[in-house]
Chains A and B, each alone.
Chain A
Amino acid sequence: MKGVLLKDLYIAKSNILVTAVSLVVLGFGLSFLLETSALLVLAPVVSTTAVFISITSDAASKWNKNVIAMPVSRGQIIGEKFVFYILLAVLGLMTALIPCVLLGFFSGDITPHSLCLYGSIGISATLLAGGISLPCAYLFDPEKSQIVFMLSFMASTGIIAGIVLLTNLFIPVKENILLAFNIALGISAVWFFVSYQVTARIYQRQDIT
């Protein structure tokens, strides 16, 4: 899996660098308008676009045909994309933390609580969206999967709102806002794992030509 992951890093290198720099610049820019830690919601989601660049590149070069003939299982090929997705999300989150932490020294509005809250929302949205868009990238052609990729972020926002509203029926969310979003994070993680299992099963039976 390491070789395939390295291949994806090579493909997405320039995109990763541009995204990282943009996030830092955006972080400092946002500080004049709103709370910088809100960037943590956006950062993991934006960073994962590189996965779809690699999937599109794989399709264009017919890499999947090649790699299946190599000592790599179909499960590993799918597993690598999911791992790559998480890695990019974490990388995005870490990058966005740079302006947040630096600005935190000068302003009081960035607290560990706000960082955890926005970080939790960002990762939840990313995992939910990935759980929708990654299987679709292997089910549909590249054009359709790009549309699904964009729609999945909107869907994930709706799902998170739904989970939080549902949680509110049992726990008062206003008093336990971090707990409510951590529940959403837990559900998103389970969803992402189930999505990986389903995608691996679908891919196992797919004809690659």
Chain B
Amino acid sequence: MNNALTVSKLTKTYPDFVLDQVSFSVPSGSIVGLIGENGAGKSTTINAALGLIQKEAGHVSILGSERLDCGVKEEIGVVFDGSNYPEILTPKKLNGVLKRIYRSWDETAYFQLLKQFSLPLDKQIRQFSKGMKMKLAISAAFSHHARLLILDEATSGLDPVIRDDILDMLLDFIQDEDHSILLSSHITSDLEKIADYIVFIHEGHVVFSKPKDELIEQYGIIKCGAAQFDALDKADILAYRKMDCEWQALVADREQMQKKYPKAMVVPASIDEIMLLYVKGEKK
């Protein structure tokens, strides 16, 4: 399977933060969810991949090319958190601007999406709500026949109804096997719905990059008391956390753990819980 995006050992150092040798890939025809708490390095990774910031080391290959020239950028649709379009423009004027920037700009698709989202053509963007701005940015990203969509926190701050509409659009987009999506979000429930792979970044490192189904079907949490926790083989525990009345231990294979510790309560772990245990818990 070809990769639409390959990030290899990407490194960027700031005075107070290091993105340290981040590696992952977005296989063609798939949706990859990039998760992590605020400040974990999701946006830095995306910014470095898109050439917005200079990387110190590592390689990025987008749609088979290591050189991010205008031809490659023509095939990428990007949505950032916030519309990032001049607020004085209207969606109609924005069409005039973007059709002169993208060779493959599809005016009909753009206006159709604006209609679908009930966005007014002649209203200035400054008068739009956050949801409307995001819809506009998504309409633009979908209107130039992109093969790779990169969405950085594009669904944050939106109500569940709009988020659901957008997730449906992403699922439609991915029906073409040549299309791929990298979706950065800390709303893990969205990723549970649509992502094929999950890449978890924590403090500038990739903690794991796994198929979502593997995480949902295999990962588990052992919920137990202190005595039972002490009896656990620490090699089985990925991360653990002491709660008010119980201990929670994240394990990679819950069925195996259930067999190994028949008296323990092993429950499925959601992506949110996995993330929380890695971020707030302690490592074995």
Q: A residues engaging B (CB < 8 A)? A: 2-4, 6-7, 10-11, 57-58, 60-63, 65-73, 205, 207-209
Interface contact B84-A10, CB-CB below 8 Å = no
Is B103 an interface residue when CB atoms closer than 8 A count as contact? yes
User: A135 vs B89: C-alpha distance in the bound complex, in angstroms?
Assistant: 26
| In the complex, chain B residues whose CB is within 8 Å of the CB of A7 | 86, 89, 97
Q: Are A71 and B103 in contact (CB under 8 A)?
A: yes
Q: Tell whether B201 is near chain A: CB-to-CB under 8 Å.
A: no
> How many Å from the CB of B65 to the closest CB on chain A?
13
Cβ A209 vs Cβ B97 within 8 A: no
| Chain B residue at smallest Cβ distance from A74 | B51
Contacts of B71 in A (CB 8 A): 71
The answer to whether A207 and B73 touch across the interface, beta carbons within 8 angstroms, is no
**DSSP majority for the B interface?**
loop
The smallest C-beta distance from A106 to any residue of chain B, in angstroms, reads 41
Q: Give CA–CA (A69, B51) in the complex, Å.
A: 8
- Contact string against A for B residues 82-99, beta-carbon threshold 8 Å, 1 for contact and 0 otherwise: 111111110001001111
A10 to B103, CA, bound (A): 21
Contact A57 B98 (CB under 8 A): no
A-B contact pairs, 20 of them (CB 8 A): A3-B100, A3-B101, A6-B97, A7-B86, A7-B89, A10-B97, A57-B86, A57-B87, A61-B86, A66-B84, A68-B52, A69-B50, A69-B52, A69-B73, A69-B76, A69-B150, A70-B98, A71-B74, A207-B47, A207-B53
A65 to B150, CA, bound (A): 13
Neighbour of A208 across the interface among B52, B73, B78, B89, CB < 8 A: B52
Least Cβ distance of A84 to chain B in Å? 14
A4 touches B89 (CB 8 A): no
List 15 additional A-B contacts (Cβ < 8 Å) besides A6-B96, A71-B70: A3-B96, A4-B97, A7-B86, A7-B89, A7-B97, A10-B88, A61-B84, A61-B87, A62-B84, A66-B80, A67-B101, A69-B76, A70-B102, A72-B70, A73-B70
Q: How large is the interface on B (under 10, 10 to 19, 20 to 34, 35 or more residues)?
A: 20 to 34
Asked if B175 lies at the interface with its beta carbon under 8 angstroms from chain A, I say no
Bound-state Cα–Cα, A4 to B47, Å: 21
- Please pick, from B52, B53, B73, B93, the residue contacting A10 in the complex, using a CB distance under 8 A: B93
The answer to whether the Cβ of B54 comes within 8 Å of any Cβ in the partner chain is yes
Which B residues lie within 8 Å of A57 (CB)? 86-88
4 A-B pairs closest in CB distance: A3-B100, A3-B101, A71-B70, A66-B84
Bound complex: CA A102 to CA B151 (Å): 57
List chain B residues, Cβ under 8 A from A4. Answer: 97, 101
Whole-angstrom CA separation of A70 from B176 in the bound complex:
22
Contacts A2-B100, A4-B101; A68 near B54 (Cβ below 8 A)? no
Neighbouring B residues of A208 by C-beta, 8 Å: 47, 52-53
In this complex, what residue of B is CB-closest to A2?
Answer: B100
Known interface pairs A3-B100, A10-B97. Does A66 touch B85 (Cβ–Cβ under 8 Å)?
yes
Report the minimum CB–CB distance from A52 to chain B (whole Å): 14
Residues of A close to B150: CB separation below 8 A: 69
Knowing A71-B73, A73-B70, A209-B47, the reply to whether A62 touches B82 (Cβ < 8 A) is yes
Given the interface pairs A3-B98, A72-B101, the reply to whether A63 lies near B86 with Cβ below 8 Å is yes
Q: Which residue of B lies closest to A62 (CB)?
A: B84
Q: Mark B101-114, 1 if CB is under 8 A from A, else 0.
A: 11100000000000
Q: In the complex, what residues of B have CB within 8 A of residue A61's CB?
A: 83-87
Q: Do B87 and A209 touch across chains, with their CB atoms under 8 A apart?
A: no
A73 to B78, CA, bound (A): 16
